[in-house]
Chain A
Amino acid sequence: MDEELVKIKQLKTSFRVLDDYYAAVDDVTLTIYKNEVLAIVGESGSGKSALAFSIMGLHNRAKIEGEIYYRGENIANASPGRWNKLRGREMGMIFQDSLSALNPLMIIGTQIEETLLLHNPKISARERKIRVIDLLMKVGIPRPEKTYYQYPHELSGGMRQRVIIAIAIANQPQLLIADEPTTALDVTIQAQILDLLRQLKNEMRAAIVLITHDLGIVAEMADRVAVMYAGQIVEIADVYTLIENPLHPYTKMLLKSVPSSSGAKSRLHVIQGVVPALHKLPREGCRFRGRIPWMDASVHESNPMLHEVRPGHYVRCTCYQYFHFPDKYKEESSHGTH
Chain B
Amino acid sequence: MWKLMVRRIIIMIPQIVVLSLLVFMLAKAMPGDALTGLIDPSIDPAAIEAMRERLGLNNPWYVQYWDWITRALQGDLGQSFFFKMPVADLIGQRMVNTFWLSLATLILTYLIAIPLGIVSGRYNDTLADRLITGYTYVGFAAPLFITALLMLYIFGFQFGWFPTGGSVSPGSTPGSAEYVIDKIYHLLLPALSMALITTVSTVQYLRCEIIDTKQKDFIITARAKGASEQRVYHRHILRNSLLPIAALFGYEITGLIGGTIFIENIFNYPGMGQLFLESITRRDYSVMTALVLLYGIAAIVGALISDIILSIVDPRIRIK
Interface residues in chain A, defined as those with a beta carbon under 8 Å from any beta carbon in chain B: 56, 58, 80-81, 83-89, 92-93, 95, 97, 100-105, 111, 114-115, 118-119, 151, 153, 164, 167-168
Contact = CB atoms under 8 A, between A and B. Distances in A.
B257 interface: no
Contacts of A105: 239-240, 243, 313-315
A114 B220 contact: no
B226 A115 contact: yes
A104 B314 CA distance: 8
Given A93-B220, A164-B221, A167-B225, 6 more contacts: A84-B228, A95-B220, A102-B221, A105-B239, A115-B226, A118-B231
Contacts of A81: 228
A87 B218 contact: no
B282 interface: no
Contacts of B240: 103-105
Top 10 A-B residue pairs of the complex, sorted by shortest distance between their CB atoms: A88-B226, A100-B217, A88-B225, A93-B224, A87-B226, A115-B225, A101-B217, A103-B218, A151-B315, A84-B226
B155 to A, nearest CB: 41
Most chain A CB atoms below 10 A, which of B216, B224, B316: B224
A235 to B, nearest CB: 28
A88 B231 CA distance: 14
Nearest to B215: A60
Contacts of B216: 100
A58 B314 CA distance: 28
A93 B227 CA distance: 13
A111 B227 CA distance: 12
Contact of A102 (B218, B226, B235, B314): B218
B236 interface: yes
Contacts of A84: 226-228
B234 interface: no
A103 B243 CA distance: 13
Interface residues of B, number: 23
21 contacts: A80-B229, A83-B226, A85-B226, A86-B226, A88-B226, A93-B220, A95-B220, A102-B218, A103-B218, A103-B221, A104-B218, A104-B315, A105-B314, A105-B315, A111-B221, A114-B222, A114-B225, A114-B235, A118-B227, A164-B221, A167-B221
A105 B242 CA distance: 12
Interface of B: 216-218, 220-229, 231, 235-236, 239-240, 243, 313-316
B313 to A, nearest CB: 8
Nearest to A119: B226
B146 to A, nearest CB: 39
A80 B225 CA distance: 13
Given A151-B316, A153-B316, A101 B225 contact: no
Contacts of B235: 114
Most chain A CB atoms below 10 A, which of B218, B227, B243: B218
Most chain A CB atoms below 10 A, which of B218, B225, B236, B315: B225
A4 to B, nearest CB: 23
Nearest to A84: B226
A83 B218 CA distance: 18
B219 to A, nearest CB: 9
B228 A80 contact: yes
B316 A97 contact: no
A87 B223 contact: yes
A161 to B, nearest CB: 12
Nearest to B224: A93
B225 A118 contact: yes
B206 to A, nearest CB: 16
Contacts of B236: 103
Contacts of A164: 221
